[in-house]
Amino acid sequence: MSFRREYRLSKQSPKSKSRKELTKAAETSIEGTAADVEVPEKKSFIKQLTPEEKQKAHREGIIKTIVSSILGILAGLILYSQYGTGEDRMWYAILMIVIGITYYVQKLIYPSLKINVKEFKFKDWFYVEFMVIDFFLVTWTLLLN
């Protein structure tokens, strides 16, 4: 390990010269002891994926996106046909109904598409449900116009 040394161009008194020599001696002794100690290398815990695993993960991501998009479009079509403009309903109740139904539908659909639902984390469920809500609202809005 190397330490940076700062040299100043100001005038030094005899006291400051002796202090500087002491700090240089301390730095060299620290460098000597630090070089003797072996530092274990840190292992990275990032798992390297094989090309087959990358391809499988990519394929699963595309399937998740397509399924959630189709469910969102279907939810938009169904709710437009049932509620029309939805003026007499509370909007957050409609969103909760769509989220609840599509969550359970996706839990049933993904195993048949050979996607392990048990590996889903909060981030994954949030992603697919966001896609459903996004497509639901876009479809419903387009049908209202």
**What's the pTM?**
0.63
Q: Check residue 118 and report its DSSP letter.
A: G
> CA 98, CA 101: separation in Å to the nearest integer?
5
Radius of gyration of the chain measured on its C-alpha atoms: 32
What residue type is 31 in one-letter code? E
Q: Which residue has the tokens 């394929």?
A: 59
Give the start-to-end residue ranges of the domains of the chain.
51-144
Instruction: Provide the CA 59 distance to its chain's centre, in angstroms.
Output: 19
Q: Cβ atoms within 10 A of the Cβ of 127, count?
A: 16
For the stretch 130-143, pLDDT in tens is 999 999 999 999 99
Measured CA to CA in angstroms, residue 117 lies from 7, 58, 91 at distances of 62, 16, 29
> CA 97, CA 136: separation in Å to the nearest integer?
12
For the stretch 84-104, pLDDT in tens is 777 777 888 888 989 999 999
Q: Cβ atoms within 10 A of the Cβ of 99, count?
A: 15
Q: How deeply is 44 buried, as exposed, middle or buried, from its count of CB atoms within 10 A (0-12, 13-18, 19+)?
A: exposed
Q: 25-29, 89-93, 127-131: which has the highest mean pLDDT?
A: 127-131
pLDDT at 103: 93
